[in-house]
């Protein structure tokens, strides 16, 4: 859009006492490199709390996993601990009375009842404490009261574990995998093995455990540590798993692989006898992709996505620290296994035919890759504050997609152009008043509200801040947050404070209100008027004399007037208002939106024709863009000639096709 | 008024009839477009850039407009659909007139005695009023054939869809879902081809219906519409037995050209995007040229169908006359 400032616009703004500046003026000073937050210190490693050494054997016919191993756990809190909490999340699929299954939640994944139930049975859990071996499982409590849920077990210890002390537990367990449901299970010979081993809940600094049952909408939260896992599967099966392969052998019809990875907080794996595979080193990372037969095009699209994403996210949020990344594209019959993240392993998805131009494959891949940062490297409490993972990651996904594909980052097909950010904004708009964004996953009434608010509303809030305060300011802020809190399990306060520090109190408050208080905003052009400048007519008493000034025609080429703009809602987001004159000139006036309304003075060489709020569509949070503009009285807008032309043409084609 | 010899049936000799059909379609398309146009105009017409905002990249305003939770979308969609159905039925009249115009002509007066006679019959186009009379008389059988055609197509395509899905499901385990999906697409395409061939046969019946009614009109007789339609269907089937390959080939070529025209229209629209003014005017001209071209292709195809049907129809009529 060609924007020519009115000659008097600066004066007009000064006279009106309007403060604020345009978005471009809000840009922070540029940095010489592409990483405005590169100077923010970033931890190289987390505190190692757990050390899992596991051996798992898959029976693909029975869909069972037999596991044995040890857990070395360190009490990193400040208090002695006399009881452990262990998550047995496969039991979420044990019966219809689990917390997961009885949640009345629709509109999201995991809503189908599994055809085959899944269980995890701990056969042995012992602690060798000096010369004594304690059977811990005998006193473990899986159920509480009448609740049938067995996903969150308490394990009393025979003595308290002192702060800083490390204990080693031995365990044996058996998994019965469910038919594919909520990210895990089997479909034919395809096995996605996640949430599959007894896992100690995260210990907090005060000695409490962040333990919770497997909620329908909730995800995970765990301590960092080392995983050394040996997987034993039938020889024809290819394996994808968290961590680097340090040993691999085939013997007696079995394939045995040992995967070792430090600095992660979970371990997942997959095995299938039909996997195709491709490998490529991208930005120093060994990237593997496992995919079904016939999905070579998808594999290439997913690899292409990672070629863009690895350096892009590295520059934005700090370098990806692991030497490998594995992508798993599940078969179409197992969609519940797709679209999920685990450390160094992500699952993608999409049916076999998705045309180029519909960037669904790329979007899912980049979203799941982004989780390597917000889920993997930041590791916030996903069940308590899901927006800190899914929300921030959805923003990062949309930002990355636009940086890669431009404005048509979601769909660019047959003349239809849809951006990912715009899609998020529209999805979120319908739920803005329903619930808070920042609340636990289990507090959302429906899966649709959870998806719209946690994913899309958060992404829209952050994208609005990016567009209003500038790209570099946002890069700096998000980059600082991602680097400063790497491996630190940040809470919402950390995010808000980072925005206040890096982007200013105004932006920080906007973020807080939008996340915690259902903050919203709707701008509206209320009215406008303009007329030629003329001497005021009427009766005037001046210097003790009464004089009548007759109405006179205005001076040619001098017009004045005003535009009344209002802001509804609780958010105060700076915005620009564009004033259009009859002679075609356009002027932008910034408004800081700290008041409920403003009467913007107008002065120009022709009459005012129209006014448009936020002409560059920076405030995606604006609830209704249909009231962001108005034509001056006596003026028509641009009408809808394009719609008439297109609708007529398409009607002709349909009529001709049906009635030859 | 006289039925033309197959060698005389050409769409290029009937530009007025083709233009009438085009104008009829354009007029009704404007009516169909009115609800959606008015909906957009009320929502976005006051914007200084008008509905150009709906065409902007990223599609924010487009999504806002489509995502409104009031009744606008539902009312507009239903009204548009109803207008389309009405239009499809109404347009059978100008379509019948077009076919009549293709099938019949007026013999020129005999040349004065002593002058050389033309080697072939000299004919002129029917007066449009006569063609429209035949179009009106053909409306019911044409509309019935259209409904029949749509019904058959839906059945064939539904069967194809169900069968293709079953086959895909059965092959997924052995071929994988990508390859089995390809099989599904191919299988469904076969059913779509069958539906297209059935459509060709119905087009032959359409041609036969109008020709029958025109001949009756010329003879000053009339017959029940359903009887005419059944006889036309039999004629179409008889034609298909001997000439289905040629008919299908004739239809397919024109269909392909029609698709190419749509592609040209799409490229033009995509290139010009949401621009207004002269660019929008240019796009309108291009789009209407595409529609006119497609109408001409349909006229050309119906001329071909008439040429294939006429000998069969005449032979059957001769046989019937001799029997009586």
pLDDT tens string A450-493:
999 999 999 999 999 999 999 999 999 999 999 999 999 999 99
The closest of A170, A136, A135 to A153, measured between CA atoms, is A136
SS3 content of chain B, % helix, strand, coil (to 5): 80, 5, 15
Q: Write down the pLDDT at residue B110.
A: 62
List CB contacts of A30: < 8 A, sequence separation 6 or more. A36, A472
Residue of A nearest to B143 (CA): A659
Task: Kindly state whether A406 is in contact with chain B, defined as any CB-CB distance less than 8 angstroms.
Answer: yes
Rounded to two decimals, the pTM is: 0.89
Q: Which of residues 602-621 of A touch B (CB under 8 A)?
A: 609-610, 612, 617, 620
pLDDT band at B228 (very low <50, low <70, confident <90, very high): confident
Cα–Cα distance between A69 and A226 in angstroms, integer? 13
Q: What is the DSSP string of A32-63?
A: SSS-TTTTS---SS----EEEEEEEEEETTTT
pLDDT of residue B31 exceeding 90: yes
Smallest Cα distance from A299 to chain B, Å: 13
Q: What DSSP string runs through A318-380?
A: ----SSEEEEE---TT-GGGSSEEETTEEE----S---TTBTHHHHHHHHHHHHIIIIIIS--
A414 in contact with B, Cβ within 8 Å: yes
**pLDDT tens digits, B107-159:** 766 666 655 555 455 568 888 899 999 999 999 999 999 999 999 999 999 99
Mutation target among B21, B27, B36, B60 for the A interface, most CBs of A within 10 A:
B60
What is the mean pLDDT of the segment spanning B288-300?
97
Are residues A610 and B46, on separate chains, in Cβ contact within 8 Å?
A: yes
Output the DSSP codes for A548-561: EEPP-PPPTT-EEE
From chain A, pick out residues whose CB is under 8 angstroms from the CB of B273.
415
The dihedral sign for the CA sequence A22, A23, A24, A30: positive
Facing B26 at nearest CB: one of A419, A421, A652: A652
The neighbouring-strand residues paired with A613 are A577
Alpha-carbon distances of A595 from A571, A612, B36, B151, rounded to whole Å: 11, 18, 37, 62
Structure letter (DSSP) for residue B193? H
Instruction: Read off the DSSP letter of residue A442.
Output: G
* Contact (CB<8Å) A609/B54: no
* CA–CA distance, B149 with B321 (Å, rounded to integer): 30
Residue B108 has a pLDDT of 67
To the nearest whole Å, the CA of B60 is away from the closest chain A CA by 5
The SS3 call for residue A470 is coil
Nearest-by-Cβ selection for A188 from B50, B95, B173: B173
Query: ∠ CA A544-A550-A554 to the nearest 5 degrees?
Result: 120
What pLDDT was estimated at residue B320? 77
ipTM of the complex: 0.93
pLDDT of residue B152: 94
Cα–Cα separations (whole angstroms), residue A522 to A619, A621, B10, B64, B268: 10, 8, 62, 13, 37
Top pLDDT among B85 and A21 is at B85
CATH 2.60.40.10 boundaries in chain A: 9-26+520-642
Number of A/B CB contacts below 8 angstroms equals 215
Pick the CATH number of A9-26+520-642 from 3.90.79.10, 3.40.50.720, 2.60.40.60, 2.60.40.10: 2.60.40.10
Residues of chain B positioned with their CB less than 8 A from the CB of A636? 45-46
Which chain B residue shows the shortest CA-CA distance from A610?
B48
Residues of chain A short of pLDDT 70, as ranges, are 1-35, 107, 110, 659-660
Q: Could you give the CA distance from residue A206 to residue A277 in angstroms, rounded to a whole number? A: 46
Could you report the per-residue pLDDT of A197-255, keeping only the tens digit for each?
A: 999 999 999 999 999 999 988 899 999 999 999 999 999 999 999 999 999 999 999 99
Opening angle at CA B218, ends B213 and B220, nearest 5: 90
List, for residues B90-106, the tens digit of each pLDDT value. Answer: 999 999 999 999 999 98
CATH of domain A49-223: 2.60.40
Nearest to A649 among B28, B46, B287 (CB): B287
For residues A614 and A639, the answer to whether their CB atoms sit within 8 Å is: no
Task: Tell me: pLDDT of B190 over 70.
Answer: yes
State the smallest CA–CA distance between residue A530 and chain B in angstroms.
16
CB A450 within 8 A of CB A443: no
Q: Is A188 on the interface with B (CB under 8 A)?
A: yes
- Asked if A423 contacts A410 with a C-beta cutoff of 8 angstroms, the reply is yes
**Which residue stretches of A213-295 are H helix?**
none
In chain B, where the domains are located? 2-107+122-316
- Nearest CA distance, A521 vs chain B (angstrom): 15
- Of A587, A389, B82, A416, nearest to A397 by C-alpha is A389
Cβ–Cβ gap A644/B55 under 8 Å: no
Verify whether the Cβ–Cβ distance A293 to B176 is below 8 Å.
Answer: yes
Torsion region of A551: left, alpha or beta (phi above 0 gives left; psi -120 to 50 gives alpha): beta
Tell me the pLDDT band of B20, cut-offs 50, 70 and 90: very high
Cross-chain Cβ contact B60/A422 below 8 Å: yes
């Amino acid at each position: 859009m060609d924007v020519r400032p009115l000659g008097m616009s600066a004066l007009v703004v000064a006279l009106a006492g309007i403060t604020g500046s345009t978005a471009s003026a809000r840009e922070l000073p540029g940095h010489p490199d592409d990483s405005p937050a590169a100077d923010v210190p970033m931890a190289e490693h987390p505190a190692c709390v757990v050390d899992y050494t596991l051996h798992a054997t898959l029976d693909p016919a029975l869909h069972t996993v037999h596991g044995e191993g040890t857990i070395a756990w360190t009490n990193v809190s400040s208090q002695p601990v006399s009881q452990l909490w262990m998550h047995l999340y496969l039991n979420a699929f044990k019966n219809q009375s689990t917390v997961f299954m009885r949640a009345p939640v629709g509109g999201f994944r995991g809503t189908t009842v599994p055809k085959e139930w899944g269980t995890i049975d701990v056969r042995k859990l012992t602690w060798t404490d000096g010369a004594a071996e304690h059977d811990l499982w005998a006193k473990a409590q899986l159920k509480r009261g009448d609740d049938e849920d067995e996903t969150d077990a308490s394990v009393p210890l025979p003595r308290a574990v002192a702060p800083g002390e490390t204990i080693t537990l031995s365990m044996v367990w058996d998994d019965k995998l469910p038919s594919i449901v909520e990210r895990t299970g089997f479909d034919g010979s395809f096995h996605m093995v996640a949430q599959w081993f007894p896992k100690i809940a995260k210990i907090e600094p005060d000695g409490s455990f962040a333990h919770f049952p497997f909620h329908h909408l909730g995800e995970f939260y765990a301590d960092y540590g080392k995983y050394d896992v040996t997987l034993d599967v039938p020889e024809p099966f290819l394996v994808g798993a968290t961590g680097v392969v340090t040993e691999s052998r085939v013997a007696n019809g079995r394939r045995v692989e040992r995967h070792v990875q430090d600095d992660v907080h979970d371990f997942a794996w997959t095995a299938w006898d039909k996997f195709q595979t491709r490998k490529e080193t991208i930005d120093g990372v060994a990237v593997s992709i496992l995919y079904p037969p016939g999905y070579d095009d998808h594999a290439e699209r997913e690899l292409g996505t990672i070629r863009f994403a690895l350096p892009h996210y590295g520059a934005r949020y700090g370098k990806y620290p692991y030497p490998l990344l594995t992508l798993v594209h599940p078969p179409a019959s197992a969609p519940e296994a797709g679209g999920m993240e685990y450390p160094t392993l992500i699952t993608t998805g999409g049916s076999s035919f998705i045309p180029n131009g519909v960037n669904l494959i790329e979007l899912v891949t980049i979203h799941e890759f982004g989780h390597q940062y917000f889920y993997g490297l930041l590791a916030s409490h996903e069940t308590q504050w899901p927006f800190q993972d899914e929300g921030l990651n959805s923003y990062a996904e949309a930002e990355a997609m636009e940086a890669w594909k431009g404005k048509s980052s979601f769909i660019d097909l047959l003349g239809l152009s849809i951006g990912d950010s715009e899609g998020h904004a529209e999805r979120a708009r319908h739920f803005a008043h329903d619930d808070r964004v920042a609340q636990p996953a289990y507090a959302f009434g429906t899966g649709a509200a959870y998806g719209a608010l946690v994913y899309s509303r958060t992404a829209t809030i952050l994208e609005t801040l990016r567009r209003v305060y500038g790209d570099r300011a946002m890069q700096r802020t998000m980059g600082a947050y991602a680097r400063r809190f790497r491996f630190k399990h940040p809470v919402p306060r950390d995010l808000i404070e980072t925005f206040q520090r890096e982007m200013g109190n105004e932006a920080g408050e906007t973020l807080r209100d939008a996340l915690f208080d259902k903050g919203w905003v709707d701008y509206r052009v209320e009215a406008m008027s303009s007329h030629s400048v003329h001497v005021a007519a009427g009766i005037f008493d001046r210097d003790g004399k009464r004089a009548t000034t007759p109405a006179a025609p205005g001076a040619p080429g001098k017009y004045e007037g005003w535009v009344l703009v209002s802001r509804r809602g609780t958010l105060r987001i700076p915005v620009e208002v564009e004033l259009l004159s009859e002679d075609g000139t356009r002027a932008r006036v910034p408004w800081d939106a700290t008041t409920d309304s403003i009467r913007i003075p107008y002065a120009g060489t022709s009459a005012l024709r129209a006014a448009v709020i936020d002409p560059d569509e920076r405030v995606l949070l604006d609830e209704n863009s249909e009231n962001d503009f108005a034509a001056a009285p006596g003026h028509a807008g641009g009408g809808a000639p394009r719609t008439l032309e297109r609708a007529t043409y398409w009607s002709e084609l349909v009529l001709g096709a049906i009635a030859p | 008024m006289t039925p033309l010899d197959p060698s005389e049936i050409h769409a290029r000799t009937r530009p007025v009839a083709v233009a009438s059909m085009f104008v009829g379609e354009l007029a009704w398309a404007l009516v169909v477009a009115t609800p959606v146009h008015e909906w957009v105009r009320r929502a976005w017409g006051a914007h200084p850039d008008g509905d150009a905002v709906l065409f902007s990249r990223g599609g924010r305003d487009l999504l806002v407009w489509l995502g409104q939770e009031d009744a606008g979308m539902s009312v507009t969609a239903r009204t548009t659909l109803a207008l389309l159905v009405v239009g499809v039925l109404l347009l059978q009249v100008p379509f019948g007139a077009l076919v009549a115009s293709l099938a019949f002509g007026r013999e020129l007066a005999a040349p004065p005695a002593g002058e050389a006679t033309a080697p072939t019959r000299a004919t002129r186009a029917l007066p449009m009023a006569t063609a429209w009379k035949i179009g009106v008389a053909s409306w019911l059988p044409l509309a019935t054939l259209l409904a029949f055609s749509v019904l058959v197509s839906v059945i064939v395509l539904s069967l194809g869809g169900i069968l293709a899905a079953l086959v895909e499901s059965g092959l997924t385990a052995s071929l994988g879902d990508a390859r089995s999906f390809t099989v599904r697409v191919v299988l469904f395409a076969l059913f779509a081809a069958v539906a297209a061939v059935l459509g060709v046969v119905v087009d032959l019946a359409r041609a036969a219906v109008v020709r029958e009614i025109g001949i009756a009109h010329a003879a000053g007789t009339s017959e029940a519409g359903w009887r005419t339609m059944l006889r036309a269907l039999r004629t179409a089937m008889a034609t298909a037995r001997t000439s289905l390959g040629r008919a299908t080939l004739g239809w397919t070529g024109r269909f392909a050209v029609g698709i190419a025209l749509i592609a040209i229209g799409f490229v033009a629209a995509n290139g010009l995007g949401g621009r207004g003014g002269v660019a929008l005017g240019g796009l309108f001209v291009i789009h209407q040229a595409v529609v006119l071209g497609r109408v001409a292709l349909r006229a050309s195809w119906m001329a071909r169908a008439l040429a294939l049907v006429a000998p069969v129809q005449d032979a059957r009529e001769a046989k019937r006359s001799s029997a009586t």
